[in-house]
Amino acid sequence: MFKEFKEFALKGNVLDMAVGIIIGAAFGTVVKSLVDDIIMPPIGLLLGKVDFSNLFVNLSGGPVASVAEAKKAGAAVIAYGAFLNNILSFLIVALAVFLLVKTVNRLRRKQEEAAPETKECPHCLSTVPLKATRCPNCTSELDG
């Protein structure tokens, strides 16, 4: 059983997946910082000095000044500002993944289009299908 697990874990696909997950998590952290620290502050400034990460609805009825204070006091709040930040982060990650997949698909199409479908018979120089093992013109045997 250990041998089977070792074979599974050391396959290229599993290692590729692990690397992808690690890089994806790191990319998510960078995007979160981009949204929280770079994009949202200027938007908040334009909208009247609003800190999106601190927008909330207090459900507990008691006075609280911030989301952090409400969480510390155990008050029930709906932190819709943090939710907006997370939606923007998701959209940026989704756009990046879309662009990556689009680029990979374009490269694959170019590679498939570039693959030859015919070859030349070395004896009579006629065009022969790539999978042919014998030339239809001179009947010579062709290399695989």
| 134 phi and psi angles, rounded to 5 deg | -140, 140
Q: Per-residue pLDDT tens for 102-114?
A: 998 898 888 777 7
Using CB atoms within 10 Å of the CB of residue 135, give its burial: 0 to 12 exposed, 13 to 18 middle, 19+ buried.
buried
Domain extent, residue 43, equals 2-115
Confidence bin at 31 (pLDDT 50/70/90)? confident
In a domain, 26, yes or no: yes
Residue 38 maps to which CATH number?
1.10.1200.120
Share of the chain above pLDDT 70, in %: 97
Strands 118-120 and 57-58 come out as: unpaired
In a domain, 95, yes or no: yes
Domain count, the chain: 1
Res 39: pLDDT:
82
SS3 of 15-79: the string is HHHHHHHHHHHHHHHHHHHHHHHHHHHHHHHHCCCCCHHHCCEECCCCCCCCHHHHHHHCCCEEC
In a domain, 122, yes or no: no
Res 12: pLDDT:
64
